[in-house]
Structure 1
Amino acid sequence: MKHYLLSVVTPAGGEPPSPEVLERIMRNVDGFHQELRRAGAWVFAGGLSAPATATVVRATGGDTLLTDGPYIEGKEYLGGLCIIKAPDLDAALAWGRKAAQAITLPIEVRPFEGEAED
């Protein structure tokens, strides 16, 4: 069984949803996660803090350089992720469709290299 990354593509600089809308989205996300668990496809999921909270660690020669904030400015950023187990890309894309419906944001589905250990 392969592992797939479902990345939540979040628009930068946008207004966050209202509390009522956010509450509904989070209920839908929780339902999606429960469905993954029941199907045995759950591995891990989590939301990420805003890009401004990031620190980039860069190797330079024998030392490292730390830089505050995101490395690249962009119109979108990785807002959260879910790692799932699926037998093939079609099954992973089906989970990606469900994630997009629950989260209401675009979802990038990407396989990990190699096969996962069960």
Structure 2
Amino acid sequence: MAKYLLLIYGDEQRWDAETPAERTAKGNGHRSFVEALGTGMLTGHELASSSTATTLRSTTGDRPTPTDGPFLETKEALGGFYVIEAPDLDAALDLARRLPELSAGHGGVEVRPIVDHHHA
């Protein structure tokens, strides 16, 4: 089994504007996703708004200085993540397609293999 990081992106303004019913439906979608994963669910969390983020930037010589926010050139923000195990990328993609954010009309899910140096 391989490990994959699923990064959930979307429009924070649209997330913030969700009705209680939409939030409940999304929560139910995530519970269904976790149930479908079974033992393949390793961890996952919703993230606080990107306005709460602090970013460290590399510098030449000096200590990296923290700055507010990620300063992305996009409306999409990272809203949460899962670390899962799946037999292969196709299986990970099939699982990721179950995430409720993909039916919201904005955002997406990035699926990235995790490098396992112990089995390389």
| Larger relative strand fraction | 1
| Counterpart position of 1:5 | 5
CA RMSD of aligned residues (A): 2.0
Q: Which amino acid aligns with 1:112?
A: I
TM-score by length of 1: 0.82
Number of aligned pairs?
A: 113
Match of 2:21 in 1: 20
Aligned pair in 2 of structure 1 residues 69, 79: CA closer, same or farther (>3 Å)? same
Q: How does 1:34-113 map to 2 (within 5 A)?
A: 34-37=35-38, 40-60=39-59, 61-99=61-99, 102-103=100-101, 104-105=103-104, 106-113=108-115
| Residue 94 to residue 74, structure 1, CA distance change in 2 (3 Å) | same
Identify if the C-alpha distance between structure 1 residues 34 and 116 changes in structure 2 by more than 3 Å, giving closer, same or farther.
farther
- How far residue 58 of structure 1 moved from its aligned partner, in angstroms, is 2.4
Deviation of 1:115 (Å): 6.5
What is the SS of the residue equivalent to 2:84? strand
For 1:52, what is the secondary structure of its paired residue? helix
TM-score relative to the length of structure 2: 0.81
Percent identity of equivalent pairs: 34
Give the gaps of 5 or more residues in structure 1. none
The unaligned stretches of length 5 or more in structure 2 are: none
From the superposition, tell whether residues 27 and 47 of structure 1 become closer, same or farther in structure 2 (CA, over 3 Å): same
Question: Offset at 1:94?
Answer: 0.8
